[in-house]
Amino acid sequence: MKYILLIEDDPFLTGMYTTKLKSAGFLVEVASDGEQAFEKMKVRKPDLVLLDIVLPKVSGWEILRKIKSEANLKDLKIIILSNLGQKEEVEKGLELGVAKYLIKAHYTPSQVVEEIKKII
């Protein structure tokens, strides 16, 4: 079973994506901020990280940079799932090595699951 770490601070979205991902056969764990995310990644390396950018304590950009700087995590598959949809933001994410940059408003949870399946 593929393990996905969802890094999202909105409880409504967390519940919605968790339900959808679990029903698609994924094992899902949630971190509501960067500190929690790194603690969970130390315990078990995920097959994929679904990462929001606007988060409390540590931004998604900082989390992404830290993942890419860690030898054991740098090859991790990451999908950014954010409402920051400006061209610069998307380009920044792709330059930092994310597999995909999805804008929340443009994708239903089912479409997000389909994008994940294409990557893992």
Q: What b/e string do you get for 33-53 counting C-beta neighbours within 10 Å, with b at 16 or more? A: bbebbbebbeeeebbbbbbbb
Torsion angles phi and psi, residue 72, rounded to 5:
-80, -5
| pLDDT at residue number 57 | 86
Convert the pLDDT of each residue in 87-115 to its tens digit. 999 999 999 999 999 999 999 999 999 99
**What are the structural domains, with CATH classification, of the chain?**
3-119 (3.40.50.2300)
- Number of neighbouring beta carbons within 10 Å of residue 98: 22
Percent of residues, the chain, with pLDDT higher than 70:
100
Q: List the beta strands (DSSP E) in the chain.
A: 3-7, 27-31, 48-51, 77-82, 100-103
